[in-house]
Amino acid sequence: MPHSDDDESVASAESVNSFDYEDDDNSMISFEADSDEGSPTNIEQDVEASPVESRLLWQKPSSNHLCQCRYRSMKVNWYIMERFVMPARKLSDTVIPGLSLDELLVMLHYKKWSVDELTSDFFDNSNRLRERCGLSEKVNAVYPITTKGSDFMCMICCESGPLDTFSLSCGHEFCVPCYSQYLHIYVGKGELIRCMEPSCSKSLYHTDVEKILQNGISTEVDVIELKSSGSSSSSESQDSTFAEADFKNYELSVINEYDLQFDGVEFANESRPDDAQDPLSRNSLLRAAAKLSLDGARSRYKWCPAVDCENFVELSKDTRPHDYDYKKTNLLTNVPVVRCPASHEFCFDCQFENHLPCPCDITAKWVKRCQDDSETANWIEANTQNCPKCSSSIEKNGGCNHMLCQHCRFEFCWICLHDWRQHTQSHWSCNRYKERKEDTSGKLQKQNALARYLHYYKRFSVHQHSMKGDERTLANIHRYMLLYMKSQTHNSKKNVSWNDAQFMSDAIRSLICGRRTLMWTYAFTFYLEKSNYCDIFEGMQDYLNETVEALSRIFEDVGVEKKKKQSEENIMQALTKKKSKIVHLSALIAKRQRLLVECANHGISDGSLIFKEIK
């Protein structure tokens, strides 16, 4: 139900709750066996979770407060450490001591990362398992890259000389450049890589794969590191580099062009402790194996659909019915909205951006309609005429109704489509109304349908572009915050602390989310049949629109101050003076957004809101 202006006074407790981030939830989940083929199996039965793993197992509630599903936002390197490396290390420390981490990774890889199958086969016949995995009979064998002091001829490229070579226990030796090319071809498949000799089944360690790949590009890496180390050593130059280059890259990471305008409301990637310190987390073969494993469990894992984003989300707790099909229901309680570590928010089912209050089915129809050429055909039908003689399509571009077909040179009247020669003073009758029993052309209906579609699409598009403008403005404000805080480190007098400025992040998140919800309400109402409850929903839509524009205007005013060459300190002081208003509007947006989604869900569930089929 729409609420009155009394809701302007939002309780302080509600204000705080509206700003709680999902990451604050400290519920820990256990490993669950994947039901999909090719996915990792339960490893908690064999080894207990270490403190590092425990930090990787936090789950979050869905961003849709009506949905009870929970999820984990993941990066590939987190998944590698959690599902590949840590189980191997625990096996080496407890169940199968004496084997190196390299050998255990090869065994786990061969067994599709199933700890249970590996331990069963190892204790049944370890020699047979080693042979099938392609491991040497010698335990913990090491295969270094060697430099030949004398001439060596590679049997692949036929190059000779003191070449860097690599060979396994099988003795098949090849030059490192050939091995590097070989690995570049096969590493993307995510499977164990065998010796280059076709008849040999010996496997390469994952660490050796990375060494050979890095050895092939070591010169290029050194050049890049040399360039990066050649920057000025003065503190002023370093500060300038931080302010210009770092923030330019930072803004590019915030303001991206991708499907349906995802937003980076957190202004930072989510991080986990020690997530980038282990070289194995960046191993090329393990990354490819992780992607292969994730693609084999698509009902549980979904890649983030944002462009150039390599993160994914795990639906760790699905409270919906087992036979649930998101294409056959419109209830919003079953829409799991999730957020990847880079803060891209999307629907886990249909993988569009957060489209609440639209159900997945309506969202798909709207996107298809916007991309389809059917609207172009409707416009042509509503705004053009066919020549009565040759049927060529003609658009009227002037005020005169005397038309000349450029194709057949036929002259006719645009109004009645008759021969213009009949329009003499005594036979001019096309202005007279002639009652028709039916509209055979359907032009009026098509004009009305096109006008209705353009009405909702224009508003959808306006808010879509406004969201981009808000992101740019707010990214600049966030930049001013960081520059100001950096300048405070060199100033003994500190006017604003970092904690005092944190309300800005809450406001940023609230504004972007409110704008996005408002945008999708127009796609929602386009498919609704007119009713009293529909009027109520549109009234709540107006309330949200008013609040979003009020908060957006505050940030626009700050952007105008920056154009007047105001310093970061003055901008921050202007923002802190408006803190109470910003916090109030942010809480009000969050509240009205939730009420709007609840109103839509209530109307759908009790039949007050009915979607109509629009062709």
Tokens 């199958």, residue? 117
What the block records as the tokens of 442 is 């359907």
Helical spans, DSSP H, in 111-217: 115-124, 126-133, 176-186, 206-216
Catalytic residue among 195, 400, 408, 599: 400
Per-position b or e across 127-150, b if 16+ CB within 10 A of its CB: eebbeebbbbeeeeeebeeeeeee
Count CB atoms within 10 A of the CB of residue 353: 23
Active site residue 400: yes
> H/E/C letters for each residue in 522-564?
HHHHHCECCCHHHHHHHHHHHHHHHHHHHHHHHHHHHHHHHHC
Given its phi and psi angles, is residue 98 left (phi above 0), alpha (psi -120 to 50 degrees) or beta?
left
Amino acid at 445: Q
Amino acid at 485: M
What's the residue count for the chain?
615
Strand, coil or helix: 461: helix
Q: Helix, strand, coil: what percent of the chain each, to 5?
A: 50, 10, 40
User: Cis omega before residue 388 (within 30°)?
Assistant: no
Count CB atoms within 10 A of the CB of residue 267: 21
C-alpha to C-alpha distance for 83 and 368, rounded to whole angstroms: 38
Residues 579, 583, 585, 588, Cα dihedral to 10°: -170
CA distances from 405 to 167, 379, 396, 417, 526 (A): 79, 20, 11, 12, 38
CA-based nearest residue to 22, from 76, 67, 59, 51: 59
Count CB atoms within 10 A of the CB of residue 550: 14
Q: Using the Cα atoms of residue 39, residue 45, residue 46 and residue 50 in order, give the sign of their dihedral.
A: positive
Q: Using the Cα atoms of residue 282, residue 345, residue 547 and residue 588 in order, give the sign of their dihedral.
A: negative
C-alpha to C-alpha distance for 404 and 402, rounded to whole angstroms: 7
Cβ contact 64:331 at 8 Å: no
CA-based nearest residue to 37, from 112, 138, 143: 112
DSSP string, 168-195: -TT--EEEHHHHHHHHHHHGGG-S--B-
The secondary structure element, H or E, covering residue 160 is: strand 160-161
What the block records as the tokens of 244 is 């210009």
Catalytic residues: 400
